[in-house]
Structure 1
Amino acid sequence: MNEPIMIFKKPSYPINPALLEYLQRFDRLSEVSVFYDDLLRFSGSVTVYDTMDQDTLWIRVYYSEFEREEIDLNLKKIYSLLHSDGNLSIIKFLNIDSIDYCTFGNSKPFRIKVRNILNDNYTHFYVKKADASRIYGLELEHILSPDKINFLVYKDTLIEEHIMGIPGDVFIKTLLQERSETEKAQIAKEFVKFNERCMIRLLGDMRSYNYVIVPIHDFDHVVYKIRAIDFDQQCYEGNFKVYRPQFFKENYPMVKLVKDKLQESSIEQYKDEERAVLAKRILSAENRINRLLEIMGEDELAPEAHLQQLKMELYRYTNDMNFKKAKSMGTVMSAAFEFIIRNFKNTNLFKNKM
């Protein structure tokens, strides 16, 4: 549980022409020129602290008056593309309250706070360096997860909408123990499903600060959902454990919750449910998924050593020869989806014969 399972920092992979064409086909390309590197030219900054006066590892950045005017206008246009299909009439009602820069992690994103001056409602979005791995991860999240996600790409810049929720590490530290026993059992169930979903779609590095807990009020109780918020580690690492949140020490309280609250039969049931749901989503978006996997199959997303390690570990885990034959991380993903669909169909066939 305590051994490090990620050693090297992941490099950024370029967007190839086929992926760019795919993004254009599904309206993921921005018509507004905004560059990550432009935002790096800030002239000053101050540290951002949380409500407990702890350093958040974000800094609030400032720009010269001349640059700020152009940056603000383009960021407002980006917001309108993300949330209202580029309707520029809303720009006069928007204000860019702050631009924060994260000094921690791989992507070093900018967080943009946009406020509606008529009612003081506000939201955030992020500007990052475009990376093929992250884009594949975002697109798979949009297609296969319970929640949709908006993002745009402009040349080498990626714009992501904010995913609302309580950061997993904050929830575990300050709120988890206060939940009722019923709520803890429900959270344990969600973690099992989240763990299974990440494993099947090879989304790695789901440590507690890379996902959020989303409380949803339903009649007389609260239901908790878990959503990934960082997609940098899509199909990169060779170690299969990286794709299973249960093996990160930061998630130990959640793992312990599963052991304390769920019987083995329930855990297997929830895994089966998540596999069935994923299989249905893959089949319902078959053409889009197949095109994305075809592009991934021709793309370089990891070092050769990572590919060889992962496909052999998956082969030993499943005894499926398709993993052993995989030529790229994209074909590993294809093999994973084929494995899930095959088992889903076989299970349904067995049920129908009973």
Structure 2
Amino acid sequence: MATKAAVSQLHFCKVSMRIEPQKAAPPSRKKPIYPVSERLRTYLKTYGRELILPVQYQDLIHFTYARPLVNDQGEETAWEQVSYDMREWDFLKDGLLKCYAILKTEGDYSFAANLSVERIDFCSFGNSQPFRIRIVNVNNGNYDHFYIKKADANRIYGLEWEHLLATSRVTFFTYGQTLIEEHIAGIPGDIFIRDYLNSPETNKVRLLKTFVKFNESCFIRLLGDMRSYNFVVDITPDIEGTQYNIRAIDFDQQCYEGRMRLYMPQFAKENYPIVKEVVKHLDSESIKQYQAEERSRTAYRIATERYRVRELMDTMLPEELSTPEKIEQLKFELGNHYHNFRYIKAKTMGKILKIHLKQLLMPSMRSVLKMAKGRKRKL
């Protein structure tokens, strides 16, 4: 176990981290669905996110039978496999293949003869109560998944910020109160911690560097509740060794929670095994370096997508995305932490996020703009 001196030197997001699991209040168990406003829908239409979908969420809830879905070890999962009567199934099968074509081939349905809907799963525990659709290629058996969920404003904003600011793009579309999104591939974080974290083949330093960056990214954009089962680890063989990428897969808690620490994966008790390894293997200077790298990368993405980022932020500013109590708690915690009382004047989560981005990224943004001006002079 790391010494107290080592622990005292470790800072994620300028907040001291303790080696023991945190006892902070857990994220909200059941977040209410916030409807898609007309402002947000206009933004979605402008950028091609709002389309007429052949199947809506309401079409899927009329299943006739459900049975627990078991994993390869014979254990029951949080998902249930659902069944429909034949008339419903014929309608859904064709419509779901068209939805998949919209996600993958810009609506080109000419490949439909090669595809089949193998299974529909339902999870009643998630905030958005998602349906997971398994599509299989009948020629070679290869399969893929996509999801149909209730359209929730927090989740849509989270997906759009992920698309604009994260290292990987994400594809999703909305239609009324329906959201469809692609499957984000990777090993679920809880399974990775259990089966891979202490494997001899795991390059821990590279993995831990990625976790530090992921922690910083979530805090920068105020994406909450990144417990281990809400992110995946993507493993990529490289020229020498292995590279890792940690990606969020649950965006319901975008700008919703009131506690500042709930926006930092380091404080989730489910992530404690990784945090313990960070304390053991990374020194404070390396952590600061990785945080700076993530802030610089995010600043570059904002500079590149500045017009769309500005439009998204303007859309988000007046939105109701949380309760008044949570807004008050978060703005006071962030304001006290940074001694920046601009937070205190914020009335919405969107305004808090705007102030927060400036607080964390302004030095990096100045450097990015300075470098861009230098290039223009050379040209």
Counterpart residue number, 2:182: 161
- Please point out which of 39, 53, 56 is paired with 2:60: 39
Preserved contact between residue 132 and residue 146 of structure 2 (Cα < 8 Å):
yes
1:341/1:4 CA distance change after superposition, 3 Å: closer
Preserved contact between residue 34 and residue 154 of structure 1 (Cα < 8 Å):
no
Preserved contact between residue 206 and residue 244 of structure 2 (Cα < 8 Å):
yes
Distance 1:137 1:252 in 2: 24
- Please point out which of 243, 258, 270 is paired with 1:250: 270
- Please point out which of 38, 46, 53 is paired with 1:25: 46
Residue 11 of structure 1, CA deviation: 0.4
Counterpart residue number, 1:174: 195
Preserved contact between residue 30 and residue 81 of structure 1 (Cα < 8 Å):
no
2:126 counterpart of 1:105? yes
Q: Deviations over 1:82-141 (max 9, x none)?
A: 000111212222100000111322222110011122222221000100000000000000
Residue 156 of structure 1, CA deviation: 0.5
Counterpart residue number, 2:257: 237
Distance 1:292 1:144 in 2: 12
Counterpart residue number, 2:205: 185
1:302/1:34 CA distance change after superposition, 3 Å: same
Preserved contact between residue 260 and residue 333 of structure 2 (Cα < 8 Å):
yes
Counterpart residue number, 1:148: 169
- Please point out which of 47, 58, 83 is paired with 2:79: 58
Residue 7 of structure 1, CA deviation: 4.2
Counterpart residue number, 1:323: 343
Preserved contact between residue 128 and residue 151 of structure 2 (Cα < 8 Å):
no
Q: Which amino acid aligns with 1:212?
A: V
Distance 2:314 2:24 in 1: 35
Counterpart residue number, 1:266: 286
Q: Which structure exhibits the higher relative contact order, with contacts defined as CA atoms closer than 8 Å and separated by 6 or more residues?
A: 2
2:230 counterpart of 1:210? yes
Distance 1:77 1:255 in 2: 43
Residue 220 of structure 1, CA deviation: 3.2
Counterpart residue number, 1:16: 37
- Please point out which of 97, 100, 112 is paired with 1:76: 97
Distance 2:166 2:200 in 1: 25
- Segments of structure 1 that go 5 or more residues without pairing to the other structure are none
Where 1:311 maps in the other structure, the secondary structure is: helix
Where 1:22 maps in the other structure, the secondary structure is: helix
Residue 350 of structure 1, CA deviation: 10
319-328 vs 53-62, which moves further: 319-328
Residue 340 of structure 1, CA deviation: 3.1
Q: Which amino acid aligns with 2:344?
A: K
Q: Deviations over 1:286-337 (max 9, x none)?
A: 1111111111101100111111111111112222233222221111111122
Q: Which amino acid aligns with 1:271?
A: Q
2:149 counterpart of 1:128? yes
1:350/1:266 CA distance change after superposition, 3 Å: farther
Residue 258 of structure 1, CA deviation: 0.5
Residue 180 of structure 1, CA deviation: 4.6
Preserved contact between residue 5 and residue 241 of structure 1 (Cα < 8 Å):
no
1:198/1:17 CA distance change after superposition, 3 Å: same
State the number of aligned residues.
351
Distance 1:200 1:190 in 2: 15
Residue 68 of structure 1, CA deviation: 0.3
Distance 1:22 1:212 in 2: 29
Distance 1:282 1:348 in 2: 10
Q: Which amino acid aligns with 2:41?
A: L
TM-score of the superposed pair, with normalisation by structure 2? 0.89
1:108/1:348 CA distance change after superposition, 3 Å: closer
1:179/1:191 CA distance change after superposition, 3 Å: farther
Preserved contact between residue 54 and residue 98 of structure 2 (Cα < 8 Å):
no
Q: Which amino acid aligns with 1:154?
A: Y
Residue 345 of structure 1, CA deviation: 4.1
Preserved contact between residue 279 and residue 337 of structure 1 (Cα < 8 Å):
no
Where 2:53 maps in the other structure, the secondary structure is: coil
Computed over aligned residues only, the root mean square deviation of the Cα atoms, in angstroms, reads 1.8
- Please point out which of 307, 310, 320 is paired with 1:287: 307
1:179/1:37 CA distance change after superposition, 3 Å: farther
The percentage of counterpart residues that share the same residue type is 43
| Superposition misfits of 4+ residues, deviation over 6 angstroms | 348-352
